[in-house]
Amino acid sequence: SQQGEEDPQALSIQEGENATMNCSYKTSINNLQWYRQNSGRGLVHLILIRSNEREKHSGRLRVTLDTSKKSSSLLITASRAADTASYFCATDDDTASKLTFGTGTRLQVTL
Amino acid sequence: EAGVTQSPTHLIKTRGQQATLRCSPISGHTSVYWYQQALGLGLQFLLWYDEGEERNRGNFPPRFSGRQFPNYSSELNVNALELEDSALYLCASSFPGQGFDEQFFGPGTRLTVL
C-alpha cells in the first residue's frame, strides 16, 4: 500500500505562477524526499527533509514538513514549462527498510 | 559520470513467458533497488540488493526474483508473466552507507505482456 498520498492528483498552472503540492503519510519517518519524473522516465531526486527539520529550500523549491500532521508540502516558485512533470514524495522509516512512494501529482505548466 | 543504465528499453512478452531485466548501478554504488510502476500509478517497491544479498522485498509473489552480481549489477526475473505485470520497471542505486537518503534512478524498462 502507498505510504504517501499526494494532493492534488493533477495541477495545471501558467508559467510564472507558484505550484504547491502536498503529501500525507501514515507512520513515523526518518526523512521525506521529493522526486520528479518526466513523462514515464526515471525519477530525479529533488530534495530531502529530515524528521527534525521543518523547512528546507533549494533554488526555487521550498519543502515543509509537519510531523504532527504527518504531512509535507512542496512549493515550486516562478514555475517554468520545463517543470512539467510528475512529482512524488517518498518516505522511509526504521522498520520498513525501503522507500515508500506516494501516488504522485501531475504538474502541467503552460506558456 | 555515467548514470544508472537499464536494458532493454522495451520488452514485449506473452503470458506465461519469462522476462529478464538488467540494471547497472552508478560506479561506487553498492545498493540496487527495483520498483514497479504500473500505468498512472506510483512506484511499488520490489526488491533491494546490497553487497550481493537480498535485503528486503516488497509485497510481490515469488515469481518476481532477482540477484546482484559481484560487480553490483543486478537482474530482475519475472516468471510466468501475467497481463498485469505490464509496467515500467525502474532500477535505482545508492552509495554505501547512504541509507535511503537519495536514490539515483535509471530510465526504466517498459515491459508489455500480451
The confidence band for A3, taking pLDDT boundaries of 50, 70 and 90, is low
| Cα–Cα separations (whole angstroms), residue B44 to A12, A19, A99, B52, B89 | 26, 26, 9, 22, 10
pLDDT at residue A39 above 70?
yes
Mean pLDDT, range A2-16, rounded to an integer: 85
What is residue B40's predicted lDDT score, i.e. its pLDDT? 72
Residue B70 and residue B2 in contact, taking contact as beta carbons nearer than 8 Å: no
Computed over every residue of chain A, the mean pLDDT equals: 92
Contact: A41, B108; criterion CB under 8 Å: yes
pLDDT digits (tens, 9 = 90+) for B65-95: 999 999 999 999 999 999 999 999 999 999 8
User: How many CA atoms does the CB half-sphere of A93 hold within 13 Å?
Assistant: 13
Closest-CA distance, A102 to chain B, in angstroms, reads 6
B108 → closest Cβ in A42, A97, A103: A42
Mean pLDDT, range B16-36, rounded to an integer: 97
A97/B contact by beta carbon, under 8 A: yes
**pLDDT over 90 percentage in chain B:** 88
User: Which of A43, A53, A94, A103 is most worth mutating to test chain B (most B CB atoms within 10 A of its CB)?
Assistant: A43
